[in-house]
Amino acid sequence: MAEHSGSAPVHVVILAAGKGTRMRSTLPKVLQPLAGRPMIRHLLACVQQLQPAQIHMVHGHGSEPLQAELAEQKIAWVLQPEQRGTGHALACAMPGIPDHASVLVLMADHPLVPLELLQSMLAAPHQLVLVSMQLTDPAGYGRIVRDDQGEFAAIVEQADASPQQLAISEVNSGIYRFPAAPLRDWLQQLAADNAAGEHYLTDVLAMAVAASQPPQLMQWPDAQSLLGANTQQQLATLERHYQRQQAELLQQQGVHLADPQRLDIRGRVSVGTDVSIDVNVILSGDCRLGDGVSIGPGCVLHDCHIGAKTRVLAHSVLEDVHCGAACSIGPFAHCRPGTRLDDAVKIGNFVETKQVSIGARSKASHLSYLGDANLGQRVNIGAGTITCNYDGVSKHVTSIADDVFIGSDTQLVAPVSIGPGAFIGAGSTITRDAPAAQLTLSRSAQKTIAGWQPPRPEPDHDTAAGQPGSKSSPQTQKEQD
């Protein structure tokens, strides 16, 4: 457990019981995705780094999916049976918090709260800290009302604010640190005498002032990270902010981004030197890009390890791909899970791969499907080659040894093996193993039909014969082999 100011144990309370009506979605608000993950996961990942004595999650609306999503997390779940306001929600968590604790209260719909802010709140000498922010558009937030001396007086919610108060641009971020003992008392005194008919947590702050324990107001330079998401529009604003931060982090590591506004990171990315990423790329899961890797426009990579100097060309979609150095993938390649490429492999346009390992310097340059297959080194896969891996029930493996040449438009009906150095003639359907270093082909012999006539239209009684569009006459040709 981390030590903070004083020796008070830190208890984090996340308020997540609200319905999130303003999202207009069947998905609970805190499970709405931000950068590909439910927004609550961002906040949780942050507070876990504080190593608090306990994280209390107040839940109520949408409990089931929320608890299912966070099943593996160490959380003290607190049910708020009825959503009677943020003050009531926090009061529900208090029985699990000792009097000498320092209570860090967070709203679950503020997913990007910076760790450094929480750390400085806990390091502050003051036990009661409130984070405020200046917004050009304060709509929807509680306004910070100050007295004539400029000292904090109260928080007034939008619905209860006078026109004068509505003009205040300093707002409540919803992030607080409280000493547990007085907080417990104040919460018990809350009344629902306001526009919403709810127990407002914010009223506790005026009580603190009345008890001569005014909060320390803390501001944070990066106000964008403190914003909440009540609506889809606000969530999209947070998403863009998050993405800008991710792009900047990559740029700080030397990545060349064609346009930092047109890259989306939905996971973790690690990069070598001289990586370049073109526009409209999505990187998700765990992606590692080696030195000199370039990713073309419109590519989507999920859980990929891309070796040094590999080029992923435009509009390629890669999932669970591990590739060596100096490969070329795409344009328009679809590499599905289990694709393992050794060095200098080429996967060209309209090639689909799945559960396949391909040896160094092998090529599948055009229009192929390679699934459940093992390819050796220097293999050449002709255009239109298909591994027929599925018999309707089971998947079967195709093995292709080193230095094999597969002619275009070949079907390899698995299970089947092609020996080292074998040649397969174009247009073959290979159903049995092909021996090493020989030409194997299966092709019906070519035939030409002598005296063949193109179809003729039937004579039309009304107009001249031979007009296009009339029925063709029966054919009387003779086949010649």
Q: Which residues bind ligand UD1 (CB under 6 A)?
A: 15-18, 58, 80, 83-86, 88-89, 107-109, 141-142, 155, 157, 171-172, 174, 200-202, 228, 230
Segment interacting with Ca ion, rule: CB under 5 A, options 75-83, 212-220, 230-238, 380-388: 230-238
**Closest approach of Cβ 202 to ligand UD1, in Å?**
5
Q: In the structure encoding, which two tokens stand for residue 399, read together?
A: 């093995």
Q: Pseudo-torsion of CA 192, 195, 198, 201, nearest 10°?
A: -90
- 157 touches Ca ion (CB under 5 A): no
**Closest approach of Cβ 193 to ligand UD1, in Å?**
13
- The rounded distance, in Å, linking the Cα atoms of 104 and 83 is 20
**Closest approach of Cβ 122 to ligand UD1, in Å?**
20
- Look up tokens 């899970």; give the residue: 337
Segment interacting with Ca ion, rule: CB under 5 A, options 120-128, 224-232, 235-243, 246-254: 224-232
Contacts of 411 (CB under 8 A, 6+ apart): 385, 386, 388, 428, 429, 430
Cis peptide before 9 (omega within 30 of 0): no
**Closest approach of Cβ 102 to Ca ion, in Å?**
23
- The rounded distance, in Å, linking the Cα atoms of 377 and 362 is 5
Among the listed residues 99, 92, 131, 111, the one whose alpha carbon sits nearest the alpha carbon of residue 47: 111
- 9 touches Ca ion (CB under 5 A): no
Strands (E), 108-225: 129-134, 143-146, 152-156, 170-179, 216-219
How many residues bind Ca ion (CB under 5 A)? The answer is 3
Q: How is 214-262 classified by DSSP, letter by letter?
A: PPEEEE-S-GGGG---SSHHHHHHHHHHHHHHHHHHHHHTT-EES-GGG
Angle at 177 (CA atoms; ends 237, 119), nearest 5 degrees: 70
- Write down the catalytic residue from 126, 315, 322, 366: 366
Contact of residue 58 among Ca ion, ligand UD1, none (CB under 5-8 Å per partner type): ligand UD1
Contact of residue 333 among Ca ion, ligand UD1, none (CB under 5-8 Å per partner type): none
Contact of residue 157 among ligand UD1, Ca ion, none (CB under 5-8 Å per partner type): ligand UD1
- The rounded distance, in Å, linking the Cα atoms of 445 and 468 is 34
**Choice between 200 and 220, CB closer to ligand UD1:** 200
**Closest approach of Cβ 239 to ligand UD1, in Å?**
17
Contact of residue 84 among ligand UD1, Ca ion, none (CB under 5-8 Å per partner type): ligand UD1
Exactly one of 85, 228, 307, 376 binds Ca ion (CB under 5 A); that residue is 228
Instruction: Count the Cβ atoms, other than its own, within 10 Å of residue 426.
Output: 15
Strands (E), 16-165: 33-34, 37-38, 54-59, 76-79, 102-107, 129-134, 143-146, 152-156
Contact of residue 310 among ligand UD1, Ca ion, none (CB under 5-8 Å per partner type): none
Q: Is 302 a catalytic residue?
A: no
For residues 191 and 199, the answer to whether their CB atoms sit within 8 Å is: yes
Contact of residue 88 among ligand UD1, Ca ion, none (CB under 5-8 Å per partner type): ligand UD1
**Closest approach of Cβ 107 to Ca ion, in Å?**
6
- 298 touches Ca ion (CB under 5 A): no
**Choice between 73 and 230, CB closer to ligand UD1:** 230
Residues 106-135, mask of contacts with Ca ion (x by CB under 5 A): ---x--------------------------
Residues noted as catalytic: 366
**What is the binding site for Ca ion (CB under 5 A)?**
109, 228, 230
